Structure 1
């Protein structure tokens, strides 16, 4: 009771200082009536529904009955505290809105220096942005078309935030398919202006990329960050190319360099459950364009090794048919699948038909054509006489004509021969290079005899 009396005395002091308080109803100014404060004008009439200042120069409101309002809205977007003072330049936590509707819980409101509550807008307060609804209540969570997110303190978020998606279906214990143990939340990125990043998908794609701190990330139409394989092209992903795919780690960062992963489930043709891929600095997989023959321009050098990538984005292996110019082609060898890089020199290779043959590849990797260490090769493959023939003439193309070499069943070129006979008794004469000069003592030109055997390609 003593404290209440002191409070009344204190309020009395700030209201009446210098106002000439009088018990006479005709006296103007502040006065007490029925335990509350009222205000009389110079005619002694009770003031209602108006603001008046106290001796402390602070505004107070007289309600429809003439009593000074406390802890209440004035009906025009203003609020008075327990001392009846108009709230200004401050936050207040209030249980009902300015229309007198009780929320059942308190909400925060911000009052300008004029005393007016902030409504239906953004307001920057102490370098932080806040959003207020039409009743002036500070908002939290997704606001303003789900393009901003305000934390529990009401301040709009910036940078990376892991949040429930902006819809009414979110459940705290939701598990996302494929993400066991996940809480159903997603990562979103908010710019320095506090606005959520959402990609421009006017090209028809379902996803878009953004470079953040020198790294690419991927987002869907709601701004949710993506992980794993994502098809960033337009049109149907099932009909798309690996070139239009990117792989994002669990941290959302696009993968670069070598990375082994399960292939994208929406593309078919992969051999294994896990495959190797190579991604550029911007995350584009290294791959050959679909329905295009591999060419020497597709060869890719990295760390002193040379690779050839398939249209699925995997490093090719085995014996590959590679075009050198126009319709011309030759063999390249990329080792076993565990190696998958270009090999040179003499190699024993299992061809596409399962046979094992001897090959020779130049330092550039091209299948050698011609005589190497006294043996004849074509597109890298050793050329031999058929079993039981002893010798055969094999015609190696040379421009518009042929070089006709005499080889034995081991593929060795018979040089400087004079009258050597094959199994049928046919005699051959060759020069020092092994090119046939005479057959059965008759001079021969550069016509065509037995065609060389091409490799059985892996591709």
Structure 2
């Protein structure tokens, strides 16, 4: 911005003096009296209270007939030290005078002071109040928010701006905020569109906008949101905690919505500003602030989570790349041997031994035959389905000549030789290694006849090994200590 310079117009004075003569006076023109310039009309009368054009410039003659200098005329025009009407120029009032407050004013091409609105000056946009003073700092125009720089700047700002901001002491109209290169405790990011208007939401909500192909959210004050934000008003079907309202927007200097990506965070939805939007669970479900956990953010930005509507392992897990992972109802990735109860059915899955809080856990869903140690330290063999919607779920029934129940290998007790078990209403006879017996014959347990297979059915026997009653009840199925259990 270039200040209007006030200086004595020596060239004008010389021109005026050279033009004075008796003839000129009679015909009307400039005269100097007691050091003051006056203008006479064709009758020789002094002109008062009006503008006169001379040499292509305008001058104002006051009520005493003297040419006015360094003053406002009619509160809308300004004449400089040479008396010439100022046009296309900035004027700064360093002290209040002539009804004008301290500040910058702009005189347009007509000489008239710009008031109450916007003006394009040298390719930049400026706003002026009803008194003609250039606005600066924050400008709140009804629902629109602008930032206009410092007192000697005033140009409308566009694009990203990191400005001083205190949530407990928000700026008022005209306040100037210090500009920063990074957000922090005392500064926040704002985005001003090409029309100068800050992107902002209605009260209590968030406004989403795409900038350079990234999605950002802004609150009602125009502050760029960061971290965990409850951006959605309603939860998804199957969400029992409120986690589907949330998205993650990175650090206070990022702000863009994370999509289709893993994040390892020590901040959580229930520890942030929108904690009231989620129903916090116990410590096992919901890590404390400062304790890191893994989340996977889906394509729409919401965390993957366990829906209450899941009725298969496919529904209960989330596929990322070529592997599937388990997340609890709060979106936190979990590991270990997990049981999910769906009505009368149990879905058992195994997601690695590492702690879910490790920075790089081995946590993908396992399939096929696996050796697993439960939370009590006992060693088990499991089999998990390898295809279909039940992929990764513990298998129940006979598989490759071995018997499994909810994935766990079913074996006869040591020293018993054989035991009968009932799974899904069918009787099976297995040995101590879990192998299913199918040969039609009598089977001894600890030296005595106990069972006979005949016609594909399993019977108890008499002392001679002859079939008696069909087996309808079996031994207790294996009990496993799961790392976590969920009821849907």
Task: Give the alignment of 1:38-437 within 5 angstroms.
Answer: 38-54=38-54, 56-96=55-95, 99-101=98-100, 103=102, 107-145=103-141, 147-152=145-150, 153-165=153-165, 167=171, 182=184, 184-201=186-203, 205-234=204-233, 241-250=242-251, 251-256=254-259, 257-264=261-268, 265=271, 266=275, 267-268=280-281, 269-271=285-287, 273-289=291-307, 295-322=313-340, 327-336=344-353, 337=355, 338-351=361-374, 355-363=378-386, 364-387=391-414, 389-397=416-424, 402-416=425-439, 418-423=441-446, 425-430=448-453, 436-437=458-459
Identify the range of structure 1 (212-221 vs 285-294) with the bigger mean alpha-carbon deviation. Answer: 285-294
Task: Give the alignment of 1:443-458 within 5 angstroms.
Answer: 444-445=469-470, 447-450=472-475, 452-453=477-478, 455-457=480-482, 458=484
1:347 is paired with a residue of what secondary structure? strand
Distance 2:68 2:241 in 1: 70
C-alpha RMSD of matched pairs (Å) = 3.5
Distance 1:167 1:235 in 2: 32
Distance 1:141 1:116 in 2: 24
- Gaps (5+ residues) in structure 2? 1-7, 356-360
Distance 1:309 1:147 in 2: 41
TM-score by length of 1: 0.82
Distance 1:192 1:48 in 2: 48
2:191 is paired with a residue of what secondary structure? strand
Distance 1:112 1:57 in 2: 17
Distance 1:358 1:289 in 2: 29
Q: Which residue of 1 aligns with 2:358?
A: none
What is the total number of aligned residue pairs between the two structures?
433
What's the offset of the Cα at 1:395? 1.1
Q: Which residue of 2 aligns with 1:3?
A: none
What's the offset of the Cα at 1:100? 3.8
On the 8 A contact 1:379/1:454 being kept in 2, the answer is no
Q: Deviations over 1:41-87 (max 9, x none)?
A: 23333222211111x12110112221111121113300011211111
Distance 1:342 1:218 in 2: 34
1:47 is paired with a residue of what secondary structure? coil
Q: How has the CA–CA distance of structure 1 residues 110 and 148 changed in structure 2, closer, same or farther, with 3 Å as cutoff?
A: same
What's the offset of the Cα at 1:321? 3.0
Identify the range of structure 1 (293-302 vs 214-223) with the bigger mean alpha-carbon deviation. Answer: 293-302
Greater relative CO, 1 or 2 (CA 8 Å, sep 6+): 2
Distance 1:9 1:376 in 2: 112
Q: Deviations over 1:363-393 (max 9, x none)?
A: 2323222233432111211112345544221
Distance 1:310 1:223 in 2: 34
Identify the range of structure 1 (349-358 vs 277-286) with the bigger mean alpha-carbon deviation. Answer: 349-358
Q: Which residue of 1 aligns with 2:4?
A: none
- Gaps (5+ residues) in structure 1? 1-5
TM-score by length of 2: 0.78
What's the offset of the Cα at 1:183? 6.2
